[in-house]
């Protein structure tokens, strides 16, 4: 052992090594489980919400670097997770809290990472690492501690370079539910929504349920018949991990929904699926957007909102004009003010829209919650329209 330090438990933490695919290394201490892990190194600028980050299924196969220097202050509780387990492949922090303190906490972050077998590293200069990823782009990484670190750096680097890249990764099937389930409406039921789970975060159906929506969450492999079997007033496509260029089945499903004109809403991966369904391309951003402080402009109102993000890919659609698509006219409805990345799409001739960011904001500001209300309005207007047509037929 070359270095040692007291970990959160008071035990001596093993040294750990972080190896990037371009050969840069960072030394630190084991945090969470001891062993090895691999993934795509990405950074999140969220100052709060680490439990929600860890349990967001969109982080599957990603090693998350926290730019906030001090992580773990409020420990871990049973209410904040966005899914039933931690999905990040590895976790990189500068200075973990030694003594968590919060009335809801039942355990420490270090303990939770160990219990779930998630390998992390602490004591890393996360500012230098983040700058490196900003300059060179997101890239593959490995974290090694204990026995796993007892190899030459050349061997560790070869192992990192052997793992699959995020570009071309088809991952939704690995995180989505296998069984359909229902999230009941809170209060009076007003609408039924079929939500295609591509890696859904728990807060998303909750935000719909709060608005009187009964949400039928369906597996990623659901058929068009499965969707319409629930007699939906609207269809939702969730966030999810991996490269949207691989998502053939969700694109086909969405096209069937657009064909029928059922009100449609997509979040994050769902926005990329809508982009593809309309005939736009998607591409990998250099280092993506992750955090809860990204400025986005709603181009329909001109208003700027501060929003929660987690995406490494984006839709390639023109910002300066309305596009003709097989489903009518479409436009970019939202744009990121940092870099002009497409953050939302809207159809002008059909009740369909999507955003690249997270209006459910778990964690994050609630500026974008109005998007769930827009979905409700689309369903309400569509139902009224159908009712009028029925009356016309009877007259
Ligand atoms: N949160 C998401 O849905 C992410 C979508 C996609 N995996 C991306 O990284 O861009």
For domain 172-388, is the CATH number 3.40.720.10? no
**Residue written as token pair 């906490």:** 105
What are φ and ψ of residue 119, in 5° steps? Answer: -80, 130
Residue 6 has what pLDDT? 45
User: Of all atoms in ligand 1, which is nearest to the CA of residue 314?
Assistant: 10
How remote is the CA of residue 290 from the centroid of ligand 1, in Å? Answer: 10
Question: Which residues have C-beta within 8 Å of that of residue 256, sequence separation ≥ 6?
Answer: 224, 227
Per the annotation, does 242 bind a ligand?
yes
Q: Using a 6 Å cutoff on CB, does residue 239 contact ligand 1?
A: yes
Q: Within 10 Å of residue 259's Cβ, how many Cβ atoms?
A: 12
Per the annotation, does 312 bind a ligand?
yes
Cis peptide before 363 (omega within 30 of 0): yes
How remote is the CA of residue 147 from the centroid of ligand 1, in Å? Answer: 33
Q: How far apart are CA 309 and CA 86, in angstroms?
A: 18
11 band by pLDDT with thresholds 50, 70 and 90: low
User: Of all atoms in ligand 1, which is nearest to the CA of residue 270?
Assistant: 3
Question: Which residues have C-beta within 8 Å of that of residue 74, sequence separation ≥ 6?
Answer: 100, 101, 102, 104, 105
Residue 393 has what pLDDT? 81
**Residue written as token pair 């387990």:** 85
Which protein residue's CA is at the shortest distance from atom 3 of ligand 1?
239
Write the pLDDT tens digit of every residue in 246-289. 999 999 999 999 999 999 999 999 999 999 999 999 999 999 99
CB-neighbour burial class of residue 10 (10 A; exposed 0-12, middle 13-18, buried 19+): exposed
Question: How many CA atoms lie less than 13 Å away from 201 in the CB half-sphere?
Answer: 33
How remote is the CA of residue 289 from the centroid of ligand 1, in Å? Answer: 10
Write the pLDDT tens digit of every residue in 105-151. 999 999 999 999 999 999 999 999 999 999 999 999 999 999 999 99
Tell me if residue 321 falls in helix, strand or coil: coil
How remote is the CA of residue 298 from the centroid of ligand 1, in Å? Answer: 20
Residue 5 has what pLDDT? 42
pTM as predicted:
0.95
26 band by pLDDT with thresholds 50, 70 and 90: very high
12 band by pLDDT with thresholds 50, 70 and 90: low
Q: Provide the CATH topology of domain 14-161.
A: Glucose Oxidase; domain 1 (3.50.30)
Cα-based distances in Å from 279 to 75, 265, 382:
45, 17, 25
- Which parts of the chain fold into alpha helices (H)? 50-54, 109-115, 126-136, 153-161, 172-175, 203-209, 224-229, 248-260, 269-278, 370-394
Cα-based distances in Å from 196 to 37, 221, 336:
30, 9, 26
Give the least confident one: 110-114, 205-209, 308-312, 383-387.
383-387
Please provide the average confidence, as pLDDT, over all residues in the chain. 96
What residues act catalytically?
268, 358, 360
Q: Which two tokens stand for residue 11?
A: 């035990």
User: Of all atoms in ligand 1, which is nearest to the CA of residue 240?
Assistant: 3
Residue 4 has what pLDDT? 38
Q: Which two tokens stand for residue 41?
A: 């190194």
Q: Which two tokens stand for residue 1?
A: 């052992």
Q: Within 10 Å of residue 226's Cβ, how many Cβ atoms?
A: 16
Q: Which two tokens stand for residue 335?
A: 């744009």
Q: How far apart are CA 177 and CA 88, in angstroms?
A: 17
Residue 335 has what pLDDT? 98
Rg (Cα) of the chain, in Å, rounded? 22
| Closest C-alpha to 165, from 137, 131, 128 | 137
Domain residue limits, the chain: 14-161, 172-388
Tell me if residue 58 falls in helix, strand or coil: helix
- Predicted ipTM? 0.98
Q: Using a 6 Å cutoff on CB, does residue 372 contact ligand 1?
A: no
Residue 394 has what pLDDT? 83
Residue 7 has what pLDDT? 45
How remote is the CA of residue 350 from the centroid of ligand 1, in Å? Answer: 25
Per the annotation, does 354 bind a ligand?
no
Which protein residue's CA is at the shortest distance from atom 5 of ligand 1?
269
Q: How far apart are CA 259 and CA 266, in angstroms?
A: 16
Q: Using a 6 Å cutoff on CB, does residue 108 contact ligand 1?
A: no
Query: Which residue of 46, 55, 57, 58 sits with most ligand 1 atoms within 8 Å of its CB, as the best mutation to test the pocket?
Result: 58
Please give the angle made by the CA atoms of 300, 305 and 307, to the nearest 5 degrees. 120
């Amino acid at each position: 052992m070359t270095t040692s330090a007291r970990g959160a438990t008071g035990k001596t933490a093993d040294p750990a090594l972080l190896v990037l695919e371009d050969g840069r290394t960072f030394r630190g201490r084991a945090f969470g489980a001891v062993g090895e892990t691999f993934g795509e190194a990405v950074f999140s600028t969220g100052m709060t919400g680490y439990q929600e980050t860890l349990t967001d299924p969109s982080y599957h196969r990603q090693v998350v670097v926290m730019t906030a220097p001090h992580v773990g202050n409020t420990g871990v509780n049973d209410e904040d997770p966005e899914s039933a387990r931690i999905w990040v492949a590895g976790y990189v922090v500068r200075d973990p809290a030694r003594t968590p303190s919060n009335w809801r906490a039942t355990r420490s972050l270090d303990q939770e990472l160990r219990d779930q077998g998630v390998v992390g590293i602490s004591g890393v200069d996360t500012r230098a690492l983040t700058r490196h990823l900003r300059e060179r782009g997101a890239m593959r990484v490995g974290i090694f501690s204990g026995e796993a670190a007892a190899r030459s750096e050349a061997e560790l680097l070869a192992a990192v370079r052997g793992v699959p890249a995020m570009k071309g990764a088809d991952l939704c099937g690995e995180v989505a539910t296998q069984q359909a389930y229902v999230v009941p409406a809170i209060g009076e039921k007003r609408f039924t929504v079929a939500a295609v789970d591509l890696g859904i975060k728990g807060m998303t159906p909750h935000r719909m349920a709060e608005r009187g929506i009964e949400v039928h969450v369906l597996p990623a492999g659901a058929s068009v018949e499965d969707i319409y079997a629930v007699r939906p007033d609207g269809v939702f496509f969730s966030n999810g991990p991996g490269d949207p260029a691989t998502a053939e089945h969700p694109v086909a499903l969405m096209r069937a929904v657009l064909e029928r004109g059922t009100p449609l809403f997509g979040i994050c991966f769902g926005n990329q699926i809508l982009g593809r369904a309309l005939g736009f391309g998607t591409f990998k951003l250099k280092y993506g957007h992750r955090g809860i402080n990204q400025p986005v402009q709603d181009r329909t109102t001109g208003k700027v909102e501060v929003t929660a993000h987690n995406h490494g890919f984006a839709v390639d659609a023109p910002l300066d004009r309305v596009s003709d698509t097989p489903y009518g006219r479409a436009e970019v409805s939202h744009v990121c003010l940092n870099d002009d990345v497409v953050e939302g799409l809207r159809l002008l001739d059909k009740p369909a829209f999507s955003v690249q960011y997270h209006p459910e904001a778990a964690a994050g500001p609630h500026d974008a919650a109005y998007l769930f209300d827009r979905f409700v309005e689309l369903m309400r207007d569509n139902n009224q329209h159908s009712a009028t047509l029925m009356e016309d037929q009877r007259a």
